[in-house]
Amino acid sequence: MERLRRDGLSLIAKARFGRWQLTPDWIVIDKKGSVAPAPQAPPRFGFDAIRVPLYLVWGHEATMQRLAAVLNFWSAFAEKPVPAWVDVTDGTIAPYPAPGGFHAVMELVHARLSADPPPLPMIQDQDDYYSASLILLADLARKATAR
């Protein structure tokens, strides 16, 4: 189990690309161990990779070093909505904002670093299944790490 944990954290550290050094939704690993965004999927930090910081918090592996890339990316949008994805190769951002589930993960990460964390977002009528699931998972992670 320790080797799996160590190798997973090492893989996350190696799978960072582009200006923001974010992990893409999907990666490939060649026989030599080199990591690259998967060619069969858009090279984006988005709807799948948003779970990386969620699971780092939930797994008690969220350090400032591991969270720095997402925190830097999110903070760059303090004056405008965080986009739903960013291309990790060329920096193109989504033309639409991140959904509520992403905001739950963002708040979870910020709560992990705060002495007095605010409540996480609640499921809203406009949230689709994926966002609702992320909101519920973020809530579970927060409760599991509050102990």
Residues in the chain: 147
List the one residue out of 144, 76, 77, 142 whose CA is nearest residue 110.
142
Report pTM. Answer: 0.92
The predicted structure's pLDDT at residue 41:
97
Element (H, E) at 29: strand 27-29
Residue ranges in the chain whose pLDDT is less than 50? none
Question: What is the residue extent of each domain of the chain?
Answer: 2-145
Is 1.10.20.10 the CATH number for 2-145?
no
CB 100 within 8 A of CB 136: no
- For residue 90 the two structure tokens come to 């060329």
List the one residue out of 76, 79, 78, 99 whose CA is nearest residue 18.
76
Element (H, E) at 95: none
The predicted structure's pLDDT at residue 116:
72
